[in-house]
Amino acid sequence: MAFDAGGVGRTLVEAWHASEEAMAEATRKAAFLPGWSVNNGTIYDADGTPRDRGEAWEARLEATCRSRGYHFTPAAERAQ
């Protein structure tokens, strides 16, 4: 038996599902880029191409930097 934040007893399966739903909701609220979406934990760009979290973060960082007029250095260059 597991207990949620409100002290309500839940089975481990219910707790796991609640955790998965909370993570999915947090990902949806992460505000990737316009046209990007999340489906079953997979992030898709505006063209429908699946992207990993690192690629999504990098694209979001680049868009944020460019929209504010800052210079953006891609991860590949930063790693050198």
- Which pTM does this prediction carry? 0.48
Domain count, the chain: 2
pLDDT (tens, 9 = 90+) of the chain, 80 residues, equals 677 677 777 788 888 788 778 776 766 655 567 778 877 778 888 888 998 888 888 888 888 888 888 888 877 677 77
DSSP state of 38: E
Read off the amino acid at residue 24.
A
Bridge partners (DSSP) of residue 50 are 44
| Same domain as 67, residue 57 | yes
Q: Which residues contact 44 (CB under 8 A, 6 or more apart)?
A: 36, 37, 38, 50, 51
| Same domain as 7, residue 46 | no
Neighbours of 69 (CB within 10 A): 6
Q: Structural domain of residue 26, as residue ranges?
A: 1-30
- Rounded Cα–Cα distance for residues 52 and 39 (Å): 12
The answer to whether the beta carbons of residues 36 and 28 sit under 8 Å apart is: no
